[in-house]
Amino acid sequence: MSGNREYKSDVFCMLLEEPKNALEIYNGLNDSHYTDVKIVERKVLEKGVE
């Protein structure tokens, strides 16, 4: 996959800002079937993974 890594990261972050999208991505990665977007809790790390 070629292209600007920073651009791809920004697009992915923008997708995750919307709880519905975040839940869909989570369900896809974890083979789960959650439907209530109220359970989505957004955490932002200031300086990367701790």
pLDDT digits (tens, 9 = 90+) for 9-26: 788 888 888 999 999 999
Q: What integer pLDDT is reported at residue 31 of this predicted model?
A: 96
Q: Decide if 34 contacts 27 (C-beta within 8 A).
A: yes
Our CA angle for 33, 16, 27, nearest 5°, is: 15
| b/e sequence 8-35, b meaning 16+ C-beta within 10 Å | eeeeeeeeeeeeeebbeeeeeeeeeeee
Check pLDDT > 80 for residue 32. yes
Report the percentage of the chain scoring pLDDT > 70: 80
Q: What integer pLDDT is reported at residue 1 of this predicted model?
A: 53
Q: What is the dihedral of CA 9, 14, 17, 22, to 10 degrees?
A: -70
